[in-house]
């Protein structure tokens, strides 16, 4: 077995490709075969987003209309947003909003089907693994409207001072069974509206909506007069009064001012002094990471399976060709492609001479996409034939499917553990196997980046490039001293690259000071930074933090399940967290039935109470200045880290649609 070397560092090279629109989208699922499939339409689709205090709240309000003569069932589907907790499902019954409650998945589905058989109003939200959230609504009454509301929360990470919010609509086209059975009606008949409010405790320099440049109205809201350097608010509006299609992601970038410092922020929630508190801590480091400039061997692992057909494979080929065309004659490259099996397209490493480059470009552009996806075979071939004396980078570009050959997480992890080499994964589109890609990158010490079909690609270039041009912080740990903090998630941090934030959740008992210590190694040298935060007796401003903590814990358990298999104990943990904190998971669903049915079925109104508390807090925050939760500058402290959180990377996200994935990687291998 090979062992990781702590002094390993990374560098950069550009991979450019254009991503075309996906063929599937969010919308109403309709059987390819069957009658009355065109009677139910989406009449209106309204999205309200608030980004505040490190997390985003997304509310989707939809009205369906049935143009037919019979009551029908509607199934609305949309891609799972990354790190999102679906926490509200509301159905309007007899003009009144009824908030759904979370039950075990099988129980919720059984009740939902029984209610349909009785002709009662009901709705059900289910999670299809990492792919989609599916919402079943019955009845959509003949010649009448039916209104449904969804709400989900997710943490927002700042990367190189750039925040990125994605409202996912484009379908990745990776689920063959789904595509074979369903067609998707993504049309909004009358009104589409996307309304985002950005509230920042730090100055915002710019806001961009790359794929909606001509439609998005961006307005800067006046600052709070009492805090002239902070509370920069923005309002983003996209509106189509005459309808639109739900087939393209909406991405909002915002860039903090370059002078925003490195920092530690702790956002707490505690209902009363006798209850357990919950917090989200966000660490934005500015460690002294040195720039790297070394040549490398390049191993490109390119997905050419059927789900990559059309614009994806053409764009990938064009992009890789451009990268190879920019290489130095001292570099070498190797091209691995995979579908149902793997192939060494280049026949081993090739010196990057002008003649060799021209020859391989013609070969790359002739690649056709078809067949199934043996991701394991592609990676296994990429790791073969490594040169111990050369710095090597492995770059996987895929839409995240692994459906033949070895497909289990544990099999991939065991493969990576044999080698001292970092894998960087770039996942195209929604509904991809992001959990697997994240886990592979984490295990190897690399990072995973998801790419939307609507991304501002230049901004992603800058983010990827600036991270891997520098050394990284490895063996990262975040510790809390004072015996007041417990139940931290996520359990494993991994490495931090230039400009990356660390986001962690936890619970606490007691009050008063707690010391926060970030420990890491840079080029093998241990370093640490500390600051002191205060845990409050009471703080009811952000009750949503409880859901985010629970979701982070669920993700930790799901990693264990995906890698080692399901056990009753692990399943029970997820069910308990999902039902206690009202989250839709792989094992829990959200059910709406009439109030009288709730009473007869003995369903507790935990989520209704939680939603009421959250809405009160949201209203209070709406009317108040943005609160700054920075803790590293209290009591005369000078900050957890010196300097700015990242280098000046230029103008921030702008313009044309192309993608740079850039990597240098110093690799050393040692035989045990």
| pLDDT confidence of residue 416 | 87
CA distance 668 to 672: 13
CA distance 321 to 606: 55
Query: Which residues are bridge partners to 136 per DSSP?
Result: 75, 124
Q: Is-contact 437 427, C-beta < 8 A?
A: yes
Query: 48 phi and psi, to 5 degrees?
Result: -120, 120
In degrees, rounded to 5, the angle at the alpha carbon of residue 252 between the alpha carbons of residues 247 and 257 is 170
244 in the same domain as 167: yes
Quick one: which of 147, 5, 12 has its CA closest to 424? 12
Quick one: which of 247, 84, 2 has its CA closest to 585? 84
Is residue 344 assigned to a domain? yes
279 in the same domain as 146: no
Strands 392-398 and 297-303: parallel
Query: Which residues are bridge partners to 242 per DSSP?
Result: none
Query: Which residues are bridge partners to 133 per DSSP?
Result: 78, 127
385 conformational bin, left if phi > 0, alpha if psi -120 to 50, beta if neither: left
100 in the same domain as 170: yes
Query: Which residues are bridge partners to 338 per DSSP?
Result: 303, 342
CA distance 300 to 379: 10
Is residue 76 assigned to a domain? yes
Which residues make Cβ contacts (< 8 Å) with residue 486, sequence separation at least 6?
506, 507, 508, 509
Quick one: which of 458, 460, 473, 459 has its CA closest to 426? 460
Q: Is-contact 292 393, C-beta < 8 A?
A: no
Domain region containing 572 = 263-289+475-579+628-636
User: Would you state the structure tokens that stand for residue 554, as one six-digit string?
Assistant: 């669920």
Is residue 649 assigned to a domain? no
Q: Is-contact 378 338, C-beta < 8 A?
A: yes
Which residues make Cβ contacts (< 8 Å) with residue 224, sequence separation at least 6?
230, 231, 625, 626
Give just the sign of the alpha carbon dihedral 639, 643, 645, 650: positive
In degrees, rounded to 5, the angle at the alpha carbon of residue 415 between the alpha carbons of residues 411 and 419 is 160
428 in the same domain as 333: yes
Task: List the CATH number of the domain containing 443.
Answer: 3.40.50.410
85 conformational bin, left if phi > 0, alpha if psi -120 to 50, beta if neither: beta
Is residue 312 assigned to a domain? yes
User: In whole angstroms, how large is the CA radius of gyration of the chain?
Assistant: 25
SS3 165: strand
Q: Is-contact 343 389, C-beta < 8 A?
A: no
- DSSP letters, 272-305, are STTSPEEEEEEEE----PPB-----EEEEEEE-S
pTM (two decimals): 0.83
Is residue 5 assigned to a domain? no
CA distance 37 to 31: 7
Query: 101 phi and psi, to 5 degrees?
Result: -120, 150
Quick one: which of 464, 490, 595 has its CA closest to 549? 490
Residues 115-124: tens digit of each pLDDT: 999 999 999 9
In degrees, rounded to 5, the angle at the alpha carbon of residue 619 between the alpha carbons of residues 618 and 624 is 95
CA distance 240 to 252: 18
414 in the same domain as 311: yes
197 in the same domain as 177: yes
Q: Is-contact 188 40, C-beta < 8 A?
A: no
Task: List the CATH number of the domain containing 547.
Answer: 2.60.40
463 in the same domain as 319: yes
445 in the same domain as 340: yes
Query: Which residues are bridge partners to 50 per DSSP?
Result: 57, 197
564 in the same domain as 513: yes
483 in the same domain as 463: no
| Number of alpha carbons in the 13 Å side-chain half-sphere of residue 143 | 1
Q: Count of domains in the chain?
A: 3
Cβ burial, residue 311 (10 Å; 0-12/13-18/19+): middle
Is residue 648 assigned to a domain? no
- SS3 string, 24-37, reads EECEEEEECCCCCC
Alpha helices in 215-345 (DSSP H): 311-325
What are the residue ranges in the chain where pLDDT is below 50? 1-24, 35, 229, 457-458, 461, 636, 646-672
133 in the same domain as 74: yes
239 in the same domain as 152: yes
Is residue 645 assigned to a domain? no
Residue with tokens 């049915």: 597
Quick one: which of 412, 379, 432 has its CA closest to 82? 432
Quick one: which of 8, 10, 5, 76 has its CA closest to 662? 10
CA distance 116 to 181: 22
Is residue 646 assigned to a domain? no
């Amino acid at each position: 077995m090979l062992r990781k070397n702590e002094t390993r560092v990374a560098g950069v090279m550009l991979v450019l490709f254009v991503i075309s629109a996906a063929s599937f989208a969010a919308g109403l699922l309709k059987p390819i075969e069957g009658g009355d499939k065109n009677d139910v339409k989406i009449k209106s689709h309204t999205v309200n987003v608030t980004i505040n205090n490190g997390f985003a709240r997304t509310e989707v309000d939809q009205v369906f209309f049935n143009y037919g003569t019979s009551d029908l069932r509607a199934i609305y589907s949309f891609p799972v947003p990354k790190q999102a907790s679906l926490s509200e499902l509301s159905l309007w019954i007899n003009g009144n909003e009824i908030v759904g409650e979370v039950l075990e998945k099988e129980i919720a589905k059984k009740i939902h089907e029984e209610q349909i058989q009785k002709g009662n109003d009901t709705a059900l939200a289910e999670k299809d693994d990492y792919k989609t959230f599916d919402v079943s609504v019955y009845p959509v009454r003949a010649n009448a409207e039916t209104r449904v509301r969804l709400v989900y929360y997710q943490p927002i990470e700042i990367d190189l001072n750039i925040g990125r919010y994605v409202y996912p609509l484009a379908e990745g086209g990776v689920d063959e069974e789904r595509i074979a059975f369903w067609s998707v009606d993504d049309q909004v008949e009358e009104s589409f509206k996307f309304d985002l409010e950005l509230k920042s405790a730090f100055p915002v320099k710019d806001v961009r909506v790359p794929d909606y440049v001509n439609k998005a109205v961006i307005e800067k809201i006046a600052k709070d007069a009492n805090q002239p350097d902070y509370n920069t608010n923005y309002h983003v509006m996209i509106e189509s009064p005459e309808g639109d299609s739900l087939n393209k992601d909406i991405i909002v970038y915002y860039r903090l001012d370059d002078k925003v410092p490195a920092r530690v922020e702790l956002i707490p929630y505690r209902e009363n002094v006798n209850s357990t508190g919950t917090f989200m801590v966000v660490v934005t480091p500015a460690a002294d990471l040195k720039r790297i400039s070394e040549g490398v061997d390049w191993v490109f692992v390119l997905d050419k399976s059927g789900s990559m057909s059309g614009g994806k494979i053409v764009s990938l080929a064009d992009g890789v060709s451009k990268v190879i065309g920019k290489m130095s004659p001292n570099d070498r490259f190797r091209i691995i492609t995979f579908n149902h099996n793997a192939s060494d397209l280049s026949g081993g490493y090739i010196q990057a001479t002008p003649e060799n480059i021209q020859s391989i470009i013609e070969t790359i552009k002739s690649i056709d996409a078809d067949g199934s996806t043996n991701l394991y075979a592609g990676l296994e071939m990429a790791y073969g034939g490594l040169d111990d004396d050369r710095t090597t980078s492995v770059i996987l570009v895929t839409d995240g499917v692994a459906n033949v050959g070895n497909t289990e997480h544990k099999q991939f992890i065991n493969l990576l553990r044999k080698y001292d080499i970092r894998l960087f994964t770039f996942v195209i589109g929604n509904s991809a196997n992001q959990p697997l890609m994240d886990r592979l990158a984490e295990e190897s010490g690399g990072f995973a980046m998801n790419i939307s079909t609507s991304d501002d690609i230049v901004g992603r270039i800058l983010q990827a490039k600036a991270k891997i041009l520098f050394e990284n912080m490895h063996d990262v740990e975040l510790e809390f001293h004072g015996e007041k903090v417990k139940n931290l998630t996520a359990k494993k941090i991994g490495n931090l690259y230039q400009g990356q934030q660390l986001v962690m959740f936890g619970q606490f008992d007691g009050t008063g000071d707690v010391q926060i210590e970030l420990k890491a190694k840079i080029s093998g040298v241990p370093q640490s930074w500390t600051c002191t935060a205060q845990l409050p007796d009471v703080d009811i401003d952000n009750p949503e933090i409880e859901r985010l903590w629970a979701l982070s814990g669920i993700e930790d358990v799901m990693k264990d399940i995906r890698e080692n298999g399901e056990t009753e104990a692990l399943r029970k943990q997820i069910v308990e967290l999902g039902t206690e904190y009202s989250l839709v998971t792989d094992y829990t669903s959200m059910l709406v039935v009439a109030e009288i049915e709730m009473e007869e079925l003995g369903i507790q109104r935990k989520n209704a109470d939680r939603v009421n508390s959250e809405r009160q807090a949201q209203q209070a925050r709406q009317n108040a200045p943005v609160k700054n939760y920075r803790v590293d500058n209290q009591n005369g402290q000078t900050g957890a880290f010196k300097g700015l959180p990242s280098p000046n990377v230029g103008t921030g996200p702008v313009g044309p649609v192309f993608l740079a994935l850039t990597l240098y990687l110093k690799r050393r291998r040692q035989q045990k």
